[in-house]
Amino acid sequence: MFQRLAHAILLAVPALTLLGCEDEPDLITYDWDVVFAGYEDLCNDPPKASQERFTYALLFDGSTSALTINGEGFANGTRAGCTMDYQSAVIGEDRDGGKVQWQLTGTAFYRTGGESCNMDERVDEVFGEAGVDWATYGYDPELALSEVDWVGIETFEIVGSEVESIPLGCTYSAVVSGVYLGEF
């Protein structure tokens, strides 16, 4: 009896594989080379400046998306047209004096090449909201705003703090902008 059952299972498994278990398709990411530049630090006294370069990659599934930074999963969001709103999970880190927990929220305008989104208007919206000018962020003044394919504001909020000098609820904000690298 056991041998017949084992034989039936061995015959059924390859048949099931042919019917419903296809190889999963490769995931396509849409990548941007971006510069993250802090402009408002309400968490540190004196304020700490930050400017870093990253590769942002988006995976799309309908209106939802996942954002990775330098290949690491970081935030999830929703998109509509050329706008994306996203939020990270709560992230903890050790600092001098204890642990700090923060969560990032962001809004970005983006395009995947071409002229699908009027980035001149979007850049003006973001930089106007931030109250700063384009050159503040170390970009080549010769780079036309029409060449920018990602621009947004990210805000880190402290949601837990054991560090006396970093108060709960304080924020650190940055402008993120860059150029589209392509599909990968």
Domain coordinates of the chain in residue numbers?
27-183
Residue 145 binned pLDDT confidence (cut-offs 50, 70, 90): low
Residues in Cβ contact with 29 at an 8 Å cutoff, skipping those fewer than 6 apart: 57, 58, 59, 68, 183, 184
Query: Which residue, among 109, 123, 104, 105, has the nearest Cα to 80 in the 3D structure?
Result: 109
The predicted model gives 73-80 an average pLDDT of: 94
Percent of the chain at pLDDT > 70 equals 74
Q: Give pTM, 2 decimals.
A: 0.78
- Does residue 76 register a pLDDT over 70? yes
- For residues 65 and 84, the answer to whether their CB atoms sit within 8 Å is yes
* DSSP conformation letters of 32-61: EEEEEEEEEESSSSS----EEEEEEEEEEE
| Amino acid making up residue 125 | E
Residue 136 binned pLDDT confidence (cut-offs 50, 70, 90): low
* DSSP conformation letters of 112-138: SSTTSS-HHHHHHHHHHHHT--GGGGT
Pick from 83-92, 93-102, 111-120, 131-140: least confident: 131-140
- For residues 32 and 181, the answer to whether their CB atoms sit within 8 Å is yes
- Does residue 131 register a pLDDT over 90? no
First-to-last C-alpha distance (Å) of the chain: 52
Residue 133 binned pLDDT confidence (cut-offs 50, 70, 90): low
What was the pLDDT predicted at 147?
Answer: 76
Please state which of the four CATH numbers 2.40.160, 2.60.40, 3.40.50, 2.30.42 is assigned to the domain occupying 27-183.
2.40.160
Quote the CA–CA distance of 62 and 67 in Å, as a whole number.
14
> What's the burial of 138, exposed, middle or buried (CB within 10 Å: 0-12/13-18/19+)?
exposed
